Structure 1
Amino acid sequence: MAHQEPGWVAVGVDGSDSSRYALEWSAQEARLRGLGLRIVTAVEIPDPQDPFTGAVTPVDVEESPLFRDGQSLLEYAEKWIGQLYPELETRTRLVLRRPAEALLETAEEPGTAVVVVGSRGRGSLMSAFAGSVGVELAAHSPVPVVVLPKQHETAPGARERVVLGVDGSPASRNAVGFAFAEAERRGTTLVAVCAWQPVTAFALTMGPLPPEVFDEEPLAAAARETVEEALAEHRERHPGVPVDIRTVRAHPAAALLEAATPADLIVVGSRGRGGFTGLLLGSVSQSVLHGARGPVAVVR
């Protein structure tokens, strides 16, 4: 029987505090999933074909301070995780390309379950995994991407939950399945949030509106129906997961950020749908990524 490669949680590290938080979070996630941990760092070496940098040989690459820093970082990260989780299988990888490309390449490999990255980097590798990397990954990764905040805040007394944004879009439906599985692994509550906004604010740009659109009750009811329909199938699959449904009159990004503490995992779809249920459009997902005080998972 052929040997099966184990599944992996992949994490990008650059030596910053943010990436160290991402590393530890990833190890815990791998342990919960029964997977291994793949630790990735990226080193951008000058293009050997670039006449302004001169020829770069393989020996030059290995002698580069950035290359040596990358190797040292991976050795330290692997040793650190080995002390925290000695039972966890870890592998390291140094990739000679842009950080986003390095992690996208890893995300596309068979066996990769999720990719994790810090939102800001200020380490020895010149902020390799900066905020824009998380956004690029979230837009293109075939697997869920988890982005950890710039600073690791704590929430004393707050229990970890999974906070899910729901709007009925295809990406949102995929996010629902991911969120239920995460809540079940953690033995915690799933908080499902559907935000709605009154259309009266858009009356001047849309022209005359019928009187019934000024009644907010149907909007709130429709939001509740959207959540119930989106969750129904997964509630049957995960009957042990407590669910707290919240329909909120607010901007969707604000509703999710308000509902979550730093201890929670926020789960959003990468794209949403228009109309009054316009939750989780790309701009909303980005707003959540930039404003969250805890981890954010973006699911395509």
Structure 2
Amino acid sequence: MNATPEKYWIVVGVDGSDSSRYALEWSANLAVQRGRGLTLLTAVGSPDSAGAFREIVPRGGDEEASDRLRDARALLDYAQEWIQRLFPELDVRTRMPTARAADALLEEARAADTSAVVVGSRGLGGLASAFVGSVGVELAAHAPVPVVVLPKRHEAAHSAKGRVVAGVDGSESSRRAVEFAFAQAWWTESELVAVCAWQPMAAFVSAMGPVPPEAFDDDAVEATARRTAEAELEEMRTAYPDVSVDLRTVRAHPVVAILDESSPADLIVVGTRGRGGFGGLLLGSVSQSVLHGAHGPVAVVR
């Protein structure tokens, strides 16, 4: 029996905030480009799902629950009508689970026919908000598919053609991010800018004892970084020969290097954790810092 889904879907979280509206438009544009359907999801979180605060959050009654469901349904209907006016050829379906936003989106992300999840970086704010900044971080850390986070403000997605900027460091997570970046660059006919950041080794090894002379040779360190990046890009260059690739080795912290190379119209692609990351952290420091500092969409790939 063939378990391959007949159609793949991009899931987008909708909560009525500016960032979720940008996420909706961006994800619809991506779905059209890649021949996907679009799933609009609004989580109707109850006070029972408020975690550690559930005892102090007013529970309300049946009337309040009915109001939440009615408002969520109205939001989904409005979002579906609005996006299908912009993209009449797009297949759209809706989901309205009663759960925390992160839990609802993670469950949808684990479905066999889901190819990506898109959310805004900021929700409406307050305890009643369905989406807050931490949702994007939680999703990026645990979702089995790429998670794209949109900032509160960015350039309109409908006709924007930006570059794809990918962080490269030779880690397993980075390799999967590069694969996603190449595919996205190919579908959108965009240039791929691969950024491999490096820093002088002497600053890291001086506390460990005598410093070998080569630790002070910046040219050697940069050459090693370029070889690492070239090796990582080689297979994908072969798979996507039409994608124009600009490899940049930059002497800087990875976060600074990636953000400096990007504009609000670009898609930034990073892995969840680079080389040397701490396994106990929810997200690697680079991916989390890029999420918070970017002015355009950021895709985080596990």
Do both proteins adopt the same fold according to a TM-score greater than 0.5, normalized to the shorter chain? yes
Match of 2:280 in 1: none
Q: Which amino acid is the alignment partner of residue 6 of structure 1?
A: K
Q: C-alpha displacement at 1:125, in angstroms?
A: 8.7
1:132-171 equivalent positions in 2, closer than 5 A: 132-153=134-155, 159-171=161-173
- Distance in 1 (CA, whole Å) between partners of 2:58 and 2:248 is 59
Instruction: Determine if contact 1:16/1:123 at 8 Å carries over to the other structure.
Output: no
Match of 1:278 in 2: none
Which is worse superposed, 258-267 or 281-290?
Answer: 281-290
Q: C-alpha displacement at 1:154, in angstroms?
A: 7.2
Instruction: Determine if contact 1:14/1:124 at 8 Å carries over to the other structure.
Output: no
**Distance change (3 Å), C-alpha of 1:144 and 1:53:** closer
Instruction: Determine if contact 1:66/1:125 at 8 Å carries over to the other structure.
Output: no
Instruction: Determine if contact 2:5/2:113 at 8 Å carries over to the other structure.
Output: no
Q: C-alpha displacement at 1:218, in angstroms?
A: 1.1
Q: C-alpha displacement at 1:202, in angstroms?
A: 2.9
Q: Which amino acid is the alignment partner of residue 122 of structure 2?
A: R
Match of 1:66 in 2: 68
Instruction: Determine if contact 1:166/1:192 at 8 Å carries over to the other structure.
Output: yes
Match of 1:295 in 2: 297
Match of 2:36 in 1: 35
Match of 1:45 in 2: 46
- Distance in 2 (CA, whole Å) between partners of 1:260 and 1:199 is 26
- Distance in 1 (CA, whole Å) between partners of 2:57 and 2:253 is 49
Instruction: Determine if contact 1:14/1:123 at 8 Å carries over to the other structure.
Output: no
Match of 1:189 in 2: 191
Q: C-alpha displacement at 1:47, in angstroms?
A: 3.1
1:75 equivalent in alignment to 2:60: no
Q: Structure 2: where are the runs of 5+ without partners?
A: 278-282
Instruction: Determine if contact 1:175/1:299 at 8 Å carries over to the other structure.
Output: yes
**Distance change (3 Å), C-alpha of 1:274 and 1:4:** closer
Instruction: Determine if contact 1:261/1:293 at 8 Å carries over to the other structure.
Output: yes
Q: C-alpha displacement at 1:51, in angstroms?
A: 8.5
Number of aligned positions between the proteins? 290
Identical-pair percentage: 62
Match of 1:121 in 2: 123
Q: C-alpha displacement at 1:43, in angstroms?
A: 1.4
Question: Alignment partner of 1:15: what SS?
Answer: coil
How does the TM-score come out when normalised to structure 1? 0.89
Q: C-alpha displacement at 1:207, in angstroms?
A: 2.5
Q: Kindly provide the CA deviation profile for residues 101-153 of structure 1, in whole angstroms up to 9, marking residues without a partner as x.
A: 01000000111000000000117993322111000000000000000012225
Question: Alignment partner of 1:42: what SS?
Answer: coil
Q: Kindly provide the CA deviation profile for residues 68-106 of structure 1, in whole angstroms up to 9, marking residues without a partner as x.
A: 211111010000011011111101111111111010000
- Distance in 2 (CA, whole Å) between partners of 1:172 and 1:196 is 15
Match of 1:16 in 2: 17
Question: Alignment partner of 2:265: what SS?
Answer: coil
- Distance in 2 (CA, whole Å) between partners of 1:24 and 1:159 is 14
- Distance in 1 (CA, whole Å) between partners of 2:109 and 2:235 is 28
Superposition CA RMSD, Å: 2.7
Q: Kindly provide the CA deviation profile for residues 10-40 of structure 1, in whole angstroms up to 9, marking residues without a partner as x.
A: 0001100000000000100110110110000
Match of 1:210 in 2: 212
Q: C-alpha displacement at 1:61, in angstroms?
A: 7.3
**Distance change (3 Å), C-alpha of 1:220 and 1:134:** same
Q: Structure 1: where are the runs of 5+ without partners?
A: 276-280
